[in-house]
Amino acid sequence: MKEKLSELKETVARLLKDRTVDFFIAYQAGHSQVEPIPFFLTTAEHVENLFLNNFCAHNLSKYLLDYLAGDEVVGVLAKGCDLRALKRLLTDHRVERGRVFVVGLPCIGIYDRKKVQEVYPAGLVEVVEEGEEVILRGETGDKRVPRKEYLLPRCLTCPDHNPEFYDLLLGEKVANGPLAEEDYSDVRALEEWAPGERRRYWTRQFERCLRCYACRNVCPACNCRVCCFDVAEPRWLGKGTSLDEQEMFHFTRAMHVAGRCTGCGECERVCPVNIPLMKLNKKLAKDIGALFHVPQAEIPTEVEPLGQFRLGDPDEFN
C-alpha cells in the first residue's frame, strides 16, 4: 500500500488545486509506524504530510457526518470496508453522494496493531509482504510470520478488496475474494457454554466498559442524528458507569445496529478495554441470516431486516 503514497499525493494535490474537492480526508503519520492517524487537508501544500501503509485501519467516511452542514465537496480515501461503511451512510440518507468524492484504495489486508505490537512493542521499521508471509522488520531484527495471523479479523473474511464504487481508483485493482469463510465459529463456541458460564463471561466483559463511546463514535451504523445515550430523556436510561448501565449500553447498541452492522469490526478495534463487541454483532448477523435470510454480505440493504417483515417469518411464540 505504501507504494501508492506518491500517487495519492499527486491525486490529492490535483483534486485540491482544481477545486474538485474542498478538502480531503486521508492519513498522516502517528506516533509510530503502526499508528497512523486521520488527516484533514485543506490545501495542496499539505500533501507532503500524507501517510499510507498497511496499518491505516480507520474508516474515514464516518467523519463525513461532521460536515453535513454546508456545501463543501469532501474527498475521502476509502478501502473496500470503508466503502461499505460509506454505503451505509448513503443508504441511511445521512450523506449526499454528490458531496463526496471517493478515492478508492484497493487493499489486501490491514495489520492488527495490537498483534504486531506484541512482537514489536516499539521500533517497528516496516512491514514487507511476501506472498502468504510477512516480514516484520524491526530495529532488533526481522521476524517472518504467516500473514493471516497478523491481519485484522475483518480482513480474513473481507469480500471486497476493491471498493465497490469510487470516483477515482488508486493503482490497479487487486485479486478479490476472502481469505477465509465466515463460519461464526467464535459465536457458536460461546453458544455451547452453559447459560451461567456465559453470564459470567459477559459480566466480566461489560464490567470493564468505560462508557467512552469509542465503539459508537466509530460505528458507521451508529449514525443517528441524536443518540439515545446523549439525551436526558428517558430518565430510566442511565448514563453512569455501573455494570447494569454498561450492559444496557452494549445490549442497546447491539440491537440498534442489528441488521445494519456492516461487519467492519471497528468497534472492537477501537475499544480501549478490548470488549469482544463483534461477538455480539456477529451473533445477531448470524441469527438474521438464519431467520430472515439476509446474509451479512447483503447489508446495507435499502430496507433493513428489522424494518420489514414477511408473513411467513418463523413463529415460535404461539
Q: Smallest distance, Å, CB 200 to other proteins? A: 7
For other proteins, the closer CB: 67 or 202: 202
Rounded Cα distance, 231 and 220, in Å: 20
Q: Select from 98, 97, 76, 63 the least CA-distant residue to 12.
A: 76
Q: Is 109 in the site for other proteins (CB under 8 A)?
A: no
DSSP-derived pairing of the beta strands 141-146 and 133-138: antiparallel
Query: Can you tell me which of 238, 270, 276, 297 binds other proteins, judged by CB under 8 A?
Result: 238
Region from 14-22, 109-117, 156-164, 310-318 binding other proteins, contact rule CB under 8 A: 310-318
DSSP-derived pairing of the beta strands 124-130 and 133-138: antiparallel
As a whole number of Å, the CA-based R_g of the chain is: 21
Edge to edge, what strands does the sheet with 124-130 contain? 124-130, 133-138, 141-146
Cβ atoms 138, 123 nearer than 8 A: yes
For other proteins, the closer CB: 301 or 308: 308
Q: Is 125 in the site for other proteins (CB under 8 A)?
A: no
Query: Can you tell me which of 242, 272, 274, 295 binds other proteins, judged by CB under 8 A?
Result: 242
Instruction: Tell which positions 143-172 bind other proteins, by CB under 8 A.
Output: none
For other proteins, the closer CB: 112 or 182: 182
Query: Can you tell me which of 210, 243, 272, 301 binds other proteins, judged by CB under 8 A?
Result: 243
Q: Smallest distance, Å, CB 65 to other proteins? A: 24
Give the type of residue at 123. Answer: G
Q: Is 245 in the site for other proteins (CB under 8 A)?
A: yes
For other proteins, the closer CB: 56 or 221: 221
Q: Is 267 in the site for other proteins (CB under 8 A)?
A: no
Q: Count the Cβ atoms, other than its own, within 10 Å of residue 68.
A: 11
For other proteins, the closer CB: 201 or 213: 201
Q: Select from 273, 150, 145, 141 the least CA-distant residue to 204.
A: 273
Exposure string of 170-208, with b = 16+ CB inside 10 Å and e = fewer, is beeeeeeeeeeebebeebeebeeeeeeeeeeebeebbee
Q: Smallest distance, Å, CB 194 to other proteins? A: 9
Q: Smallest distance, Å, CB 299 to other proteins? A: 14
Q: Quick one: cell of 79?
A: 478501502
Q: Is 240 in the site for other proteins (CB under 8 A)?
A: yes
Rounded Cα distance, 135 and 125, in Å: 11
Q: Is 210 in the site for other proteins (CB under 8 A)?
A: no
CA dihedral (62, 50, 131, 145) positive or negative: negative
Rounded Cα distance, 126 and 94, in Å: 38
Q: Is 186 in the site for other proteins (CB under 8 A)?
A: no
Query: Can you tell me which of 35, 45, 251, 272 binds other proteins, judged by CB under 8 A?
Result: 251
Query: Can you tell me which of 61, 284, 289, 296 binds other proteins, judged by CB under 8 A?
Result: 284
Query: Can you tell me which of 90, 258, 275, 278 binds other proteins, judged by CB under 8 A?
Result: 258
Q: Which residues of this chain interact with other proteins, rule CB under 8 A?
A: 187, 190-191, 195-203, 236-238, 240, 242-245, 247-248, 251-252, 254-255, 258, 280, 283-284, 287-288, 291-292, 305-309, 311, 313-318
